[in-house]
Every structure is written in C-alpha cells, then in structure tokens.
C-alpha cells in the first residue's frame, strides 16, 4: 500500500495529521525558474532548463551522459531496453522493493528473480545475489533502500566477473555515497527519481545516468521516441526519423525548471535532511538501548542522504499499534513494502531464489517516520514514540 492509500485508510486521522509523513520540498527559486521557462515559449523537452538540468546532472555524476526523464520508472524502462532484455532472460532484484523496479524490466518479458535482503541495511544481500545467478541472468538490479548505499564492491565484482549488467535503482539515492563514490555511478546505469517524495524533486521526474559510453547514442534515441531528434537538433543530421524502439521519456522544460532550482540548492537540501536524520538517530538511541526498537544505522562504508528514517518494532502487532498511536496524535508514520514475490504480478511473472526470511520478518516490523526538508518536529515525534512504549 502506498503512502497516499495509507493516508486514506487513516481517514479522519488524516485531517488531524499535524505532522505529515512527507511535505514536498520547496526552496523558493522554483517559481521564478518556471516563469522563466514559460517566457521562453519552449515548454516541451529540449528547452533551456531541460538542457541546463542535463548538463548539471552529467557534471555532478561525472558521467558520459545523464538524461533527465519523466520519472525513475522511465529511466528503469530505458535501462531494460538498452540491455535488450527479452523473454528467457532473468534479472535479480530484492523482493523488498518498489513495484516498478521489477515491472520496468519484466515488461520486456524477462523474469524477475527475487532474493533476500540484509536486515541491517535492508539492501539486497550480495550472497543471495550470487546464489541466484544462472546462465540466463542478464542484469542485477539493486536498490539503495532509504538512501543507504548497497555493497557496491561486491555487487560490481559479481556482475563484472560474469559479464552481467548492474543497474542501480538509485531512486532513493540522490546524495548518497559508497566509499566516496556517488550512488548511481557504479553500475552500467543509475536510475534516479525526482518524485515529490524524494530528497530532490520536480513533482514527478527522474534521470538515467549512463556510465558506460557505449550506450549513449542509443539512449538518446530511446529517450526521444525512437528518433534521432537530438542529433537533428545538434545539426548532425538534416532531418530526423524513426531509428529504433523508444518512447517519450524526456523531462519537459516546465518540470526541468522546477528541478533546476532544487539541483542548484541540493547541498543545502541534503544538509537539512541529514540533520533531521541525525536528530532522530540521537533522540531515539535511548529507546534502542532499552531494546524496545531497532534503528536505521549510518552506513558503514559511505554516507546516506536523509531520504528515510526507519525504525523496527518488535513485531507486526507492535508496529501497527505504534502507527495507530502516532496517527491518533496527528503524526503520520507509514510502512512498506509488500514483498514483491507475494504480490499478484510478482507471483505470476517472477520466481524466488533462496529463502526470503529477512524480507518477510523485517517488512512486518518496519515503519518510516516523517522526514522532509524543514521538518522541526523531531522531538514531538520521538516524544510520542516514548509515550507509546512507557504506556505499554
């Protein structure tokens, strides 16, 4: 169930919600840039802010090319197309994941192979990935869950040894780093989300970071409806035509203008989110020391981005009780994910490799606390969690 649906189910609670789970970040430059975009009279893709965001992202990720897209889902779909996945192929991804991580690849006819996670990071367990590899494996698709970087050394080695593509679902990973390397820059591709629930956003958007230059030309064609329109715009061909499969994946100038404002301020936005994250961690440590809850921990070999702050209750019953307690005090905390292998589509289209013990035990206990740019109510949230446990 997504955040909106959980909010709806809370019904009247939602009206009381003083502290929402998310409040989309607005830093103040967005409307001026959007007005400027309107004044250019070029509102589709390829406008000045689409270009500026593309240049910013390409430089930031130090990549051959980083393309702004309409969503992270679009970027994932592009990655699957670029890898020429087809029926009979397999890709390995955590069952504890977002539906489009799997569906973007499964729509090619390839089979998702679901594996377990490491309960400490909630990221895919590299040992489980290794055990799931078969001659049909074409891609490994890890998720940097909640902004905690995956063990990229292990995953990259597994992929390179067997000539398998590595595609990072870095939807949660803008600003996160593994051993000093930005999330999204190690795999063949990195896929980012700029949905309003993410650290940096434009309502709905994303990016495909292309780290292997051999994919650049075809990615440009797939992005622009299967045509060589981008070459035409650069005067490299005298007309543009249909070249390949593709879709309408490029980010339009209006949303790119909003995004560009946030990208320019991304260091400040990240610093604020990391402060909120640190406050939760500091203030909840006493409850964790009493072994009433478990806390998300800072990454061992990197840096997170304050995308999510999760805690784990003892079991599902306690977790649901805590969510209800917080809701009754106007604080919206939410759970997720429904393990993908147990979903209707996952059962039909995928298969499981190995046991998924951690996926099931941890998804049942996890809840995410409100976290967003400018949140100053951490003490109130932590206070209510304390009262829940003292009362119990």
- Which residues contribute to the site for ligand PLP (CB under 6 A)? 71-73, 98, 100-101, 143, 169, 171-172, 193, 195, 206
Q: Which residues, 6 or more positions from 234, have their beta carbon under 8 angstroms from its beta carbon?
A: none
Q: How far is the CB of 79 from ligand PLP (least distance, A)?
A: 12
> In the block, which residue shows the tokens 């650049």?
216
Q: How far is the CB of 292 from ligand PLP (least distance, A)?
A: 28
Cis peptide before 163 (omega within 30 of 0): no
C-beta closer to ligand PLP: residue 288 or 338: 338
Q: How far is the CB of 208 from ligand PLP (least distance, A)?
A: 11
CA distance 377 to 166: 39
Q: How far is the CB of 71 from ligand PLP (least distance, A)?
A: 3
Q: How far is the CB of 68 from ligand PLP (least distance, A)?
A: 11
End-to-end CA distance of the chain: 27
207: its two tokens: 């990016």
Q: Which residues, 6 or more positions from 6, have their beta carbon under 8 angstroms from its beta carbon?
A: 334, 335
Q: How far is the CB of 288 from ligand PLP (least distance, A)?
A: 25
Is residue 75 within 8 A of residue 129, CB to CB? The reply is: no
- Chain centroid to CA 182: 14
Q: How far is the CB of 255 from ligand PLP (least distance, A)?
A: 12
Q: How far is the CB of 179 from ligand PLP (least distance, A)?
A: 21
C-beta closer to ligand PLP: residue 195 or 368: 195
Residues composing the chain: 392
C-beta closer to ligand PLP: residue 71 or 185: 71
SS (H, E, C) 223-290: HECCECHHHHHCCCCCCCCECCCCCECECCHHHHHHHHHHHHCHHHHHHHHHHHHHHHHHHHHHHHHC
Is residue 64 within 8 A of residue 213, CB to CB? The reply is: yes
Is residue 286 within 8 A of residue 390, CB to CB? The reply is: no
Instruction: State the number of CA atoms in the 13 A half-sphere of 89 facing the CB.
Output: 19
SS (H, E, C) 115-152: ECECCCCCCECHHHHHHHCCCCEEEECCECHHHCCCCH
Is residue 29 within 8 A of residue 261, CB to CB? The reply is: yes
Residue 192's SS3 state is strand
Q: How far is the CB of 97 from ligand PLP (least distance, A)?
A: 6
């Amino acid at each position: 169930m997504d955040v909106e649906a959980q909010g709806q189910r809370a019904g009247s609670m939602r009206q009381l919600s003083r502290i929402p789970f998310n409040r989309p970040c607005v830093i103040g430059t967005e409307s001026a840039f959007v007005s400027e975009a309107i004044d250019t009279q070029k509102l589709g893709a390829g406008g000045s802010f689409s270009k500026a965001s593309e240049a910013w992202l390409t430089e930031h990720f130090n990549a051959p090319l980083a393309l702004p897209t309409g969503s992270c889902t679009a970027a994932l779909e592009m990655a699957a197309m670029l890898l020429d996945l087809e029926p009979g192929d397999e890709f390995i991804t955590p069952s504890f994941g977002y539906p489009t991580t799997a569906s973007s690849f499964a729509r090619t006819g390839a089979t998702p192979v679901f594996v377990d996670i490491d309960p400490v990071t909630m990221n895919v367990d590299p040992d489980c990935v290794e055990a799931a590899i078969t001659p049909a494996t074409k891609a490994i698709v890890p998720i940097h869950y909640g902004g905690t970087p995956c063990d990229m050394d292990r995953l990259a080695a597994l992929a390179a040894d067997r000539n398998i593509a590595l595609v990072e679902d870095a939807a949660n990973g803008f600003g996160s780093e593994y051993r000093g390397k930005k999330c999204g820059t190690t795999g063949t591709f990195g896929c980012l989300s700029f949905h309003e629930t993410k650290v940096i956003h434009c309502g709905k958007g994303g990016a495909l970071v292309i780290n292997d230059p051999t994919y650049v030309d075809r990615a440009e064609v797939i992005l622009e409806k299967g045509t060589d329109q981008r070459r035409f715009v650069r005067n490299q061909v005298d007309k543009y035509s249909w070249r390949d499969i593709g879709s309408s994946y490029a980010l339009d100038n209006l949303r790119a203008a909003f995004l560009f404002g946030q990208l320019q301020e991304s260091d400040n936005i990240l610093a604020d989110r990391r402060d909120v994250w640190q406050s939760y961690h500091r203030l909840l440590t006493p409850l964790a020391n009493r072994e009433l809850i478990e806390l998300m921990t800072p990454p061992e070999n990197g840096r997170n981005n304050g995308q999510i702050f999760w805690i784990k209750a003892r079991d599902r019953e306690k977790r649901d009780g805590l969510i209800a307690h917080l809701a009754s005090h106007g604080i919206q905390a939410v759970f997720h994910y429904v393990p993908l292998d147990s979903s209707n589509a996952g059962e039909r289209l995928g298969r499981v490799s190995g046991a998924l013990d951690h996926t099931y035990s941890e998804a049942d206990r996890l809840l995410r606390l409100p976290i967003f740019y400018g949140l100053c109510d951490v003490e109130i949230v932590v206070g209510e969690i304390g009262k829940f446990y003292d009362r119990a």
